[in-house]
Structure formats: C-alpha cells, structure tokens
Chain A
C-alpha cells in the first residue's frame, strides 16, 4: 500500500520529465549564397573600368620626393667675443660705455652662398659673463636681422662680478619670422651676419675701477635654424638617392607567371625649387621574392633637365613649379615585363645635379620651406593577361559568434558543398586554412585543394557562360571546433588562365557565384 501511494504521488514528477528521443537526420540545407568579384580584393582607389567594362588597375604613387630645403640647413653656430682690460686700473664712471663692437661673422654652409633667409623657426642663445665690479647694461644686436623692419636688439642687465667669480646671465630669444640679410655690411657678401655688442656701466651705479684681466664675454649660439625661405646660390653639386619603395600592389601574389599585354606609366617630375636640376635615373628595378626586372626606357638612358621654378602666382608658397612629364608603355619600354615580375617593391637609384650650368641665376636661387622635387607615378594596367600557376594568398580575419556553436553542435558529420558558377576565364585550385592569431594552422577547409574550372570566352574574348563546379569540404565535429577556435582564414588560390597562352581581358561584370550547402547528419536531441 505504501509503495502504491508513493507511486501515485511520484507520478507528477515523472510527468514533468522533459526528455525527448534523439535521432539522426540527413539534412541538405542551403546556408550561404553570394558572389565573389576579384576586383573587391583591391581598394576602390586601385581600380577602374574602361568604357567596355574592362578592368584596369590604377596605381598612383609619389615614387620619390626630395625636399630641397633638407639639402642645406643652416648649421648650429656658436661665436664668442671677449673684451679684456689689457692694463692697469681704469676708473669707469656711471653710464660710461666701455665696449661698443661691431663684428661680421661668416657662416660655413657647405658650398652654398646665401644672400637672404627668412627664419621659419630657430633661436639664439646669448650667454653673458662679466667680472666688472658694478652692474652693467649689456646690449646685443643683429642690425641685419629684422622683424617687421625692426632689427633684433636686446639689452640685459648683468650684476657685478669679479675675476674670480664673474657674474653670468644666459638668455634665449626666438628668431622665428626674422629676415636675415646675409650680405654683410657692404651688401656684397654672403653667409655673413653682423652683430653689435655694447657694454655700459649702470648710469645709476657707482664709479668702478677695472683692472687688467677684467673682462666681459658674449657667447652666442644660433640653433635649430630652419629657413622658411632662402635665396642665394645653392652651389653646383650632386646628390644621390638610392632607396626602395614598397609597391603594395602584388603583395598577395606569391608565385607564378603573369604576362601582361599592356601597361602605361605616366611619370611626372615637379621641380618647386628655384634652382636648375638635372635628374638622372640610373636604375628603376622591380623586385619580388623570385624575380627582378629593371626598367628599360628612354627615361633610364639619359638626363632630364628640370628648369628652375619661378616665384609668383597666388599659391602658397608663391611658387610656379616646373613640371616634366613623360609616359612609358609597352612600345617604348619593357613596362609589362617590369610589372609581370609581380614586384612587391621598386628600387631606384637617382642622381640630382644642382645648378648644372653654374650660377646662372646670379645668386638668385631660391627655395621655400617644404618644397623640392617630386617624382609622381601614375600606373594604369589593363587587366588583360595570361597567367600560369599564379598563387594568390590572402588572410581574412574570422569573427565567428561563439554563441552559434551550440546551434552546430548537433552536426555529426558530413560535407559543406560549395556550388560555383565561375565567369572568370581562370582555372582555380583553392584551399583554405584555419589558423589562430599566431598563424598556427589548426585545420584546412578542404581535404585537398579543390578545383574550380574556368569559363571559356566567346570568339570576341568575352565570357558569357559560366563554368560550373562543386567544392567539397568535409565537415566533422573536430573541424567545427577548429573553426570556432580560429581567428584567421588563410586562402591559397592557384590560378591559370584558360586558352593558354592567349591573353584575356577581365571585365567588371565577371564574378563567381556560389552557394554553400550543408550536407550533413544532424542529431535531433534534447538541447
């Protein structure tokens, strides 16, 4: 009886049982449908389409830039002037001027002869020392350095000192905006700056006796002088630049052979400096990991004379630059071969000859701050090529919502089927790798690289009928776990154009449409 009662009252607990049977079903479910356009691999600024929809790569770059103002800096310069009492004891009355000296210094700025400069930034540090036993008024002036027409002049008071213990004073003054007339007091020199130093006993002080060995000393340091503008003769000299620039155009292509049918490179050299320059491009070489091709063209076989810029116009700075333009293509150069090397960097070796014809400007060369010489490249490559085993490797960041893992946990195994319709005339072998953030490979997407056949163009070179294919990716619980553990998806795509060795044009309306279908065994069970 007791057991029966227990059973009856336990019945509600059994009825509340929330189990359900489990069984496997074979599901065939569409998961993703999308299209892949190869041009989406490129940034918008790197691609364009012609009137027929033919794709073109556009690459604009400042291949080389030399700011001429960096070629001649006014070096930090220190001058020192000491005025020493040579003999006996001398009485100096209050207000008496006992030093009044004008000195012109010449600065060594390589072989440059500057007549005028405007200071963009920089300073002068004045360090004064005095053994005079009375307070002294000390004036330091640069009569040919003016700001708004007013010469630079400062007067400082230096306390009384002694030979054993001279008084000192150090002050720093900003020279920004000062116009420096570097022609010297007779206006016929260059790189010269005149200074005036004047020392006076405090007019309200006492008579003071100075002895042999008493002195006043001025140490002046021009530092960090950056010219906003400079005029003069910049010399006749040669500057060489040899460097490499990353191209960033073929970074993802690791190997293979690419034959481009055409390419055009518009080069523009802009001289913003008021100095004649002769440019010689000794070498322009495309370099990749496996190949190196030097550009062969008129550009690399001679000089380019760049006339000086002129002052004037409404631009800021008021410079009318000189521009030299030239264009290279498959006819006048080996540019397609140059690009077919799939360069990841371009190495250049350039010589610049300043004032190749001497002081033709009669010392009126000029330069404004942040101007100089620019070599701009504008590359246009029609996507018409043949390719053999071109290996494209790219890495995509995976951001998989971990919450979805529970939804796929019941998958017992099967395949992801990727049905493709390929409008590109490219036979493709594709593989993908799942990797962690350190690029450690966790798994592959496919058991082996999958083949996607390319479409064949009609007689006019246009593809109108896609080629169908199917890629199979085995789906196992382990692979699903690896997918959720991955942070990177590394794609490896090996491509060859069909109709070898014909070069084929790629149009913007080509794409690969694909549908991902889940063909797997799914366990229906209590979640």
Chain B
C-alpha cells in the first residue's frame, strides 16, 4: 500500500463510522481490582458493504473520483440484494463500583454522539447508481425493497450491573436521546423504466421518504427526542481453575427517536410518467405554461400527499450472544449478533488476544453483518491506571481497498483510580 493510500485509509479510519455492530461503546469497562472509578474516551467508526468497496467509501473522506474499473469491481461483487452500513460513535463513559455488599456492583454513565447509516439496494439499483440509466434503456429497473437510512443523535445514558447468585450477572441501561438528523427512504415496489430512445421515463411504485426538519439541517440540530434501553445477562464460565469466562446475551440500542412536527414525509404510490418539460407549441412559448422540473417539483408530482408531521424512527437495535474465555496468556471470544431495522445480516465473529506483559495483541475474524468477511488487528496497553487500545476490524479492507468494502478503526483511552 502506497503512503498516499495508507494516509487515505488512516484518515478514513479516523473519520467514519462503524459497521459490524461489535461496538465497544456498550462493552463494560474492565476496572482493575485496585480501581474504584474509571473514565473512558471512545472513538470508533466503521463502514462496510457486501458490494460497495473502499474505493467508493474513501470518497467520503477526500471526495475522490471512482473510476470505471473500480465501479466494475463493485458490480462484480453485487448480489441480488446489496447492503451497506456505517456507524460512528465518539463519547465519554464513566464507571464506578457499587457500594460494598450491594448487589449493584457497577454503575455506568455515558455521553456520546452517534451516527448510523444503512441501506439495501437491488443489484439493478446499485448498477443504476453507479452507471446511470442509459444501460437500462428499454428495460425496467427493479428498485423493490430498497432502503436508505441516515441517523444522527446524541445520548446520555445510565447503566448498572448486578451480581446475582450462581455466577450470574445482569444489567440494564437507559438512554435519553436528542435526535439531530434523520433521512429515511424506503420502497416497497418500485420500477424505473427508460424508453429505448430516452424520450420517456416512468416510475411506478410505492415508496416513503421521511426527513427531519429540513430547515434545521445542522449537525447539532435538536429535531427530535427519544430513548433507548439495553440489558444483558451473563453466566460465569470456567474452563478450568485458572480461567475466567462467561456466556453473555445482551440487547443494545432498543429504542426510538420521535422527530418533531417540522419533519416532512413524502409517501408515494403512483405511476409517474416523465416526457421532459412539455411545451405545447414551441414557437408560441409566450402562451405556454413551462414548468421545468426541479427536485422539489418532482417530489410534489410523485408524492402529492407530502406534508409536515411527526414520525418516529426505530434505532438499529442489536441482539448479541457471545462466549468469552480467558486463559493464562490469551483470551478468546466467540459470538454472533444481529441488528434489527438496519439492513443487516447475522454476524458471526471470533476474537483472540495474546497477552505479554501489559500488552495485549489480538486479531479478529467476522462473517456477515454489512460485509462478507472481515479480519482485524488490535493492540492494547493495560495497567492499573490506564488502558489504551487501538485497532481495526477491517485490515482486509485497507489492504484491498479497491476490491473490498470494509473500513473501521477504534481508539479507546481509559483512566482508573
């Protein structure tokens, strides 16, 4: 990888999003035995797709031009249904131990800004996006069940962990949410037809476009409110006397954001035929009613029932089950998760870390999610007062950025006392 590419990859990793839902944001902070309090700063981002490649995603960092060869590689990867997702979180989290003797052994409060985007496109929709409609002249483009969603919100959370009998632990969390931005576009049945000569385009379908207050598009707009809850149960496992481990089932981000009355909704169920701007008699245009189409006028034509009003968006909730086992020099985690309402496929992952002194060096491997397969590397320095960890789950995407679609990075910095 050239220096320039590495730079792009590094910037991307720092810049955006997180995809696999194996987020560290909800992972409990491991307080050393000697510490009662801990504070952790987290920044993580990832993007992944089973079709789009990093040649495309890097453009969100540097505006790069995606050439035809790169588009061809993406199309080669395309399936009948193609998905992509982006996630990003940066925030601060504080943990402190419960009162001695209390069942509540841990309290957690957090403040974070979070992003999420996901989408599902048919192969033809993806081809349309990448190449335009000319190659579909005389054909119908299948846009059924397409979905595009973007969410941006802030949350303030509180959580607890309780120690139960028999090696069981359970916990819960609740978060208050300020919604910043949202865009939802979904189609049920949608077909776009371009006549062989291009003289006519027809859009036939049922679709819904929702958008938070368009007059307040800023990154810190207060356009909605919501909540989310989470919880887990965990059973301690011991492979042998020296080992520590657990089996854990958890739910994250189960909640919704209610967008205010200034939000707009464009429901459409129509057959819209476009022949260009129609002028009855070209040499008599002073009497003609010429209304060149604009994006707004197209929206009005195909979504006559558009209007303002509140709606709600379900957060991309995650259900995850995993087994963790720590051995003398290494630890292993196996698990799977699924994200609901998020264009996601079940994701299976494993993670192995090797310990030497205060360092942990690890790797991970995953299948599914927004991508196909992924592998990552991570490193952590852990002491009684500080823990620093960095890593990526998409080393493959950085190495083969023109062919593969995953990019991710995380940085965590924790202090204990």
Contact = CB atoms under 8 A, between A and B. Distances in A.
Interface residues of A, number: 44
B65 A33 contact: no
A522 B61 CA distance: 21
Interface in A437-486: none
A525 B71 CA distance: 15
Interface in A1-50: 4-5, 7-8, 10-12, 14-17, 19-37, 40-41
A16 B88 CA distance: 11
B276 A30 contact: yes
A310 B337 CA distance: 111
Interface string B62-79: 111111100100000000
26 contacts: A7-B43, A11-B43, A15-B15, A15-B16, A15-B45, A20-B59, A21-B60, A21-B63, A21-B65, A22-B59, A22-B66, A23-B65, A24-B68, A26-B132, A28-B137, A30-B199, A31-B276, A32-B277, A32-B279, A33-B276, A35-B281, A35-B282, A36-B281, A37-B283, A417-B198, A522-B132
Contact of A33 (B43, B277, B413): B277
Interface stretch (A176-184, A494-502, A512-520): A512-520
Contacts, number: 150
Contact of B134 (A28, A30, A419): A28
B134 A519 contact: yes
Contacts of A35: 280-282
Interface in A256-276: none
Given A15-B45, A26-B131, A41-B283, A21 B58 contact: yes
A478 B16 CA distance: 38
Interface string A392-430: 000000000000000000000000010100000000000
B135 A20 contact: no
A36 B413 contact: no
B199 A515 contact: yes
A419 B199 contact: yes
Given A7-B411, A34-B280, A20 B198 contact: no
Interface in B195-210: 197-201
8 closest cross-chain pairs (CB), A and B: A21-B59, A25-B132, A40-B283, A28-B198, A30-B276, A14-B15, A26-B134, A517-B198
A239 interface: no
A34 B132 contact: no
Contacts of A17: 15-16, 60-61
Contacts of A25: 129-133
Contacts of A31: 276-277
Contact of A20 (B60, B129, B131): B60
Contact size range, B: 35 or more
A36 B285 CA distance: 11
Contacts of A519: 134, 198
Of the candidates A16, A22, A28, A525, the one having the most CB atoms from chain B within 10 angstroms of its own CB is A28
A236 B241 CA distance: 146
B274 A30 contact: yes
A32 B194 CA distance: 15
Contacts of A10: 14
B254 to A, nearest CB: 24
Count chain B CB atoms within 10 A of each CB in A7, A17, A30 and give the residue with the most: A30
A4 B411 contact: yes
A526 interface: yes
B282 A36 contact: yes
Contact of B60 (A12, A19, A518): A19
Given A23-B130, A417-B197, A525 B43 contact: no
A500 B232 CA distance: 91
B275 interface: yes
B14 A14 contact: yes
A24 B43 CA distance: 34
Interface string A230-248: 0000000000000000000
B65 to A, nearest CB: 5
Nearest to B66: A23
A519 B199 CA distance: 10
Interface of A: 4-5, 7-8, 10-12, 14-17, 19-37, 40-41, 417, 419, 514-519, 521-522, 525-526
Contacts of A21: 56-60, 63-66
Contacts of A525: 63, 65
B416 to A, nearest CB: 15
Nearest to A12: B90
A27 B134 contact: yes
Contacts of A23: 56, 59, 65-67, 71, 130
A469 to B, nearest CB: 12
B281 A8 contact: no
Contact of B197 (A20, A32, A517): A517
B59 A34 contact: no
Contact of A26 (B57, B135, B413): B135
Contacts of A30: 198-201, 274-276
Contacts of A526: 63
B278 interface: yes
B11 interface: yes
Given A25-B130, A32-B279, A36-B281, A8 B63 contact: no
Contacts of A5: 413
Nearest to B67: A23
B41 interface: yes
A5 B135 CA distance: 50
Contacts of A19: 59-63
A285 to B, nearest CB: 32
Given A21-B59, A517-B198, 16 more contacts: A4-B388, A8-B43, A8-B411, A10-B14, A11-B43, A14-B11, A14-B16, A15-B45, A15-B90, A19-B61, A21-B58, A27-B132, A31-B276, A33-B199, A37-B284, A519-B198
A522 B131 CA distance: 10
Nearest to B388: A4
- Identify which of A31, A33, A518 gathers the most chain B CB atoms within 10 Å of its CB: A33
A515 B275 contact: yes
Contact of B201 (A4, A29, A521): A29
Nearest to B15: A14
B115 interface: yes
A526 to B, nearest CB: 6
A47 to B, nearest CB: 13
